[in-house]
Amino acid sequence: MDSAPILPSPTLACHDCDALYTAPAVAEGEKIICARCGARLFARWPNALQRATALVCASAWFFVLANIFPFLSLQAEYRESGMVLGGTVSGLEEHGFPLLGALVGVFMLGAPTLIIGGLLYVLVPLFHHRRLPGAGRLYRAILEARRWNMVEVYLLGVLVSLLKLGKLATLSLGTSFWAFVGLIVCLTAALSAIDHRELWSKMEGASR
């Protein structure tokens, strides 16, 4: 993208304390902090759009890998049982907790799917200065879904489970586990590279 300073919008208001500012020009690599409460108002990464799109593509690839290969396998007394990523959800459903299974599914599968798929739909056309139908509404849904995306919390859960079971059985990590780690790194980096003020102004400038 061009490296000329852009105006995020004519005025800025802090989302935490509602202090009103006239927006300064923000160059790439700069960020604006609220003078009163310290909230981060605007951050512009160098080549934010390219960076975010590349990272989202990588996340999508890792997410597919994480879902097709075995995630964990467990050996005890000549028995072996394996689990794919989706097994976390189906196990709860089988044992009479379908609602809890669905919630876990939303947190570790649904939210990342919506975020990755949605960002691809929103970001890629922007390279051609285009905006696909429903992109605005979809991006609003992505902003909501970010809070419910708990892939990193799930990873901590995996590590705790490993230690919990380590004494009873031999656990081995599958390919999917490492893909999942890659997903977390790329998705976190992608989400922090996108500043939603900048993205909205780019979407506003794009033709439909």
51 lines the binding site for other proteins (CB under 8 A): no
Show the binding pattern over residues 77-116: x = contacts other proteins (CB under 8 A), - = does not: x-x-xxx---xxxxxx--x-x-xxx-xx--xx--------
Is 68 a residue that touches other proteins (CB under 8 A)? no
| Pair of tokens at residue 161 | 């489970």
Asked if residue 66 lies in contact with residue 176, where contact means CB atoms within 8 angstroms, the answer is yes
| Nearest distance, CB of residue 94 and other proteins, angstroms | 8
**Do 169 and 75 touch, CB atoms closer than 8 A?**
yes
| Smallest distance, other proteins to C-beta of residue 60, A | 22
Would you call 156 exposed, middle or buried from its count of C-beta atoms within 10 A (0-12, 13-18, 19+)? exposed
In Å, what is the CA distance from 89 to each residue of 108, 141, 195?
9, 23, 32
Helices (H), 69-126: 87-94, 98-105, 111-126
Determine if 192 is a binding residue for other proteins (CB under 8 A).
Answer: no
Please report whether residue 120 would count as binding other proteins according to CB under 8 A: no
Positions that interact with other proteins (CB under 8 A): 8-13, 15-20, 36-39, 72-74, 76-77, 79, 81-83, 87-92, 95, 97, 99-101, 103-104, 107-108, 136-137, 139-140, 143, 147, 150, 153-154, 156-158, 160-161, 163-165, 167-169, 171, 196-197, 200, 204
